[in-house]
Amino acid sequence: MKKLLVVLLSILMVMTLAACSNQGKSEGEPTPADVDPKEIDNNPHGQTEGRFLAISMPTLAADFYVQFCDLIESQATEAGMKVTRESADGSVSTQITQLENFQTMGVTDLIVCPVDEEAVKETLISLRKAGMNVHSFAFEFGQDCSYYDSCTSANQKAIGEKSAENASNWIDATFPDAADKSVKTVIISLPVFEANIARDEGLRTITNNSKVDLVAEYELTAEDAVQTQNFIDQMMIEHPDVQVVLCHFASIALAADEQLQVYRNQLDLDHFAVFSCDYDDTLVSRMIASLKNDSFIRATGTYNPALNLVFEVTMGQHDDELTSNKIFYFPVVSFTAEEVAAAQ
C-alpha cells in the first residue's frame, strides 16, 4: 500500500511540474520552429535607446564599407545604442560564425551585407526566430522577407541605365555632329550575380544612342583590379580608337582609369571618357581631376549616397515607405564631375 501511495504521489508531482512549465502558454501556441519567418516582426519601429547594433560587412578593406560603418556607428551611438562591427574578410564561414556570435553577445539589431546570399539564409532565419531585428543591406534574397525584417536596396538595372544616360549625354555634348555608329564604346561588365546582370543590362542601353558603336564587352569574373587592367590593355590592342568606357563598379572604373594613364599619349584627352556606377570619396576625387584631364572618369550613376537612410530603415523610421516585401528602394541619381566639384 505504501509503495502504491509513493507511486501515486510521484505521478502527481510530475503532472504538477508539467502544468507549471506550460503555465501561460495557450494550447496549440506555435513554438519558434513552427513560426513562418515571413510573419515575424522584430522591427523596433523607431525605438533605439538601450539597444545593441551589430554591423556585418563582407570586408573592411574597401573605403566604401569603412565609411558606411563609420556613419552607421555614429548614428547608432547618438541614438543611445551600443555598436559593434565585424569584417568577414570575404569568408562565408567567418561571417556565419560572427553572426552566430552576435546572438550570444546580446545583439538586438543587425545590419548585414552578405558575402554569399544563399549561404547565410538559415543563419538569418535562426537569428530572427531568436528575436533579432535583421536588416539586409543591398541583398533582397529574391524579395523573400523570411530572411530580414527590412532591406535597403537599389534597382540595379536603373543604376546601369543612369550610367548609360550619363555617357550618352556626354557623347551628345562632346560629339554633337557625330554620325551614327561613330563613337566607339566598350563596357566592362561583371555578370556573376542576378543583381549584377541586371546592372549590366542597364549599361547596355548606351546603344539607344544612335551615335554609339558598342565594339566590345569585357566580362570580369570578379571585382578584380588586375583583371580590369588586363582588359584595358586588351582593349587598347583590339580597339585603339575607343572613346568611351562604361564600368560596372566604382572600383572597376578606378582600376581602368589608372591603367588608361599609361596610354595618355595615344588618346585624345578631351574626347575620351570613363563612366562609373556607385559612389565613394576616391571616385569623387578622380571625377574632379577629370576636369583637367588628369583622370577620365566623368560621371557616375548610383543610388542616393545618403547612407544614413540604412540606419533609419533598420530601426523602423521609414516603415510606411517599405514595399509589401519590406524593401526600401533608394532613389537613383547621377553625379557629374562638374557637380561634385561645385559641391566641394
In a domain, 12, yes or no: no
- Number of compact structural domains in the chain: 2
Buried b (16+ CB within 10 A) or exposed e, 271-283: ebbbbbbbbbeeb
Give the whole-angstrom CA distance, residue 112 versus residue 67: 15
The total of other beta-carbon atoms located within 10 Å of residue 172's CB is 13
Question: Which CATH number do you get for residue 275?
Answer: 3.40.50.2300
The pLDDT of residue 32 = 58
Q: Answer whether residue 161 shows pLDDT above 80.
A: yes
Q: Are 101 and 190 in a shared domain?
A: no
pLDDT at 154: 84
Q: Which residue has the higher pLDDT, 185 or 31?
A: 185
Range of the domain at 190: 156-303
Quick one: pLDDT at residue 31? 55
> Which whole-number Å values give the CA distances from 83 to 41, 88, 107, 263, in the listed order?
22, 17, 9, 47
Whether 299 and 170 map to the same domain: the answer is yes
Query: 72-110: per-residue pLDDT in tens?
Result: 999 999 999 999 999 999 999 999 999 999 999 999 999
The pLDDT confidence band at residue 34, using thresholds 50, 70 and 90, is confident
- Three-state DSSP class for 233? helix
Is there a single domain that holds both residue 121 and residue 83?
A: yes
Q: Would you give the DSSP letter of residue 218?
A: E
Q: Is residue 129 part of a domain?
A: yes
pLDDT in tens, 251-279: 999 999 999 999 999 999 999 999 999 98
Beta-strand pair 297-303/273-277: parallel
CA dist., res. 323 & res. 93, Å (int): 31
**Looking at the structure, do residues 143 and 162 belong to the same domain, yes or no?**
no
DSSP letter for 296, please: -
List the strands of the sheet with 297-303, edge to edge: 212-219, 183-189, 244-247, 273-277, 297-303, 332-336
284 and 204 in a common domain: yes
Rg (CA), the chain: 26
Q: Do 112 and 193 belong to one domain?
A: no
CB 151 within 8 A of CB 324: no
Do 299 and 216 share a domain, yes or no? yes
Query: Is residue 331 one of the residues assigned to a domain?
Result: no
Under a CB-based contact definition with an 8 Å cutoff, are residues 95 and 331 in contact? Answer: no
Q: Is residue 42 part of a domain?
A: yes
